[in-house]
Amino acid sequence: MGRRGPKPTPNKIKLIRGTFQNQTATTELVPPLDGEPGPPPRFLNASARRLWADHLATYRRRGQNVAGCESAFAQYVALEAELERRYKVRLEIPTAMITAYRMLACEFFDTPASQVGKGKTATPANRFTKNAAGGAK
């Protein structure tokens, strides 16, 4: 069985956040691969192939490499295409399908909560900044 609790935060994310410490560094079990992912698998339908190209373009702009994760990526775009199809023809969408889609979206950093970066810094006029500094005045 795996370890309990949340997944460990990758070292790259800790470096970006500025919280990296040698004693808490995680070891990368699978080294990232260089290069481009291959063509989309043949089992993907036309809408999933379109999503494949759209997502890859987004990942290239981000500098995110998905080489070596093509099978999971294919599942992700196939699931998104199926969700779109069901939505358009007004079919019932099972909750398990939405849950699986959300999990895959997180793995590819396609949700706001999973994206890494610094948030907006608070200005002195922000009332929450005043509260953090010792109370509103």
Contact 72, 107 (CB under 8 A): yes
Judged by average pLDDT, the poorest of 18-22, 53-57, 71-75, 79-83 is 18-22
Q: How far apart are CA 88 and CA 48, in angstroms?
A: 15
Give yes or no for residue 104 having a pLDDT over 60. Answer: yes
Judged by average pLDDT, the poorest of 2-6, 75-79, 87-91 is 2-6
The mean per-residue pLDDT over the stretch 21-43 comes to 83
Contact 76, 102 (CB under 8 A): no
Higher pLDDT, 111 or 125: 111
> 1-16, pLDDT tens digit by residue?
567 888 888 888 888 8
**Tokens linked to 50:** 């379109």
Residue 47 CA, chain-centre distance (Å), reads 21
For helices 70-88 and 95-107, what crossing angle results, to 10°?
Answer: 140
Q: How far apart are CA 48 and CA 40, in angstroms?
A: 9
